[in-house]
Amino acid sequence: MSHAYHKDSEAISRLSEEQYRVTQKAGTEPAFNNAYWDNEEPGIYVDIVSGEPLFASINKYDSGTGWPTFTKPIESENVVEVRDSSLGMTGIEVRSTHGDSHLGHVFDDGPVEAGGLRYCMNSAALRFIRRDDLEREGYGEYRKMFEPQMGEGGGD
């Protein structure tokens, strides 16, 4: 990928209070009371600060936790996993590589058939790009993720 993603001070200045608390202060938004926990539209989720692509709707599932949850990142080099013991238990914090935004946590109790991981993210750290807007928003290379594969029937 040829994009140069980075922590953008202008983007940080535009964050809501909640987005700032989550991304810059490692906060957690309320479960079941956030923008994307039940979003079922096709598209990708990018870091609200840097714009780096993080997760895709094709890897999103309902974990019952009330936060947007994914089985894996779409670009593993755009996420960093850091040991975290701030919640009174040892967990793995997930941060964006280039934006250094706190995104959420990863757990090892996800769907076994999809690798066994549960990336539990904060909507406040993400911006959703609808499938139909990918090209216009500069993420056209991800459009192919939503196209039927050769030999598959159907489509949407």
- The answer to whether 120 is a known catalytic residue is yes
**Among 120, 124, 129, 134, the one annotated catalytic:** 120
d(CA 12, CA 75): 22
d(CA 115, CA 117): 6
User: Given CA atoms 113, 119, 123, 129 in this order, what sign does their dihedral have?
Assistant: negative
Report which DSSP code applies to 143: G
Q: Helix, strand, or coil here: 61?
A: strand
What are the residues whose beta carbons fall under 8 Å from the beta carbon of 78, sequence distance 6 or more? Answer: 5, 47, 52, 53, 54, 96, 97, 98
23, two tokens: 């991304």
DSSP string, 69-86: EESS-SSGGGEEEEEE-T
Catalytic site residues?
Answer: 120
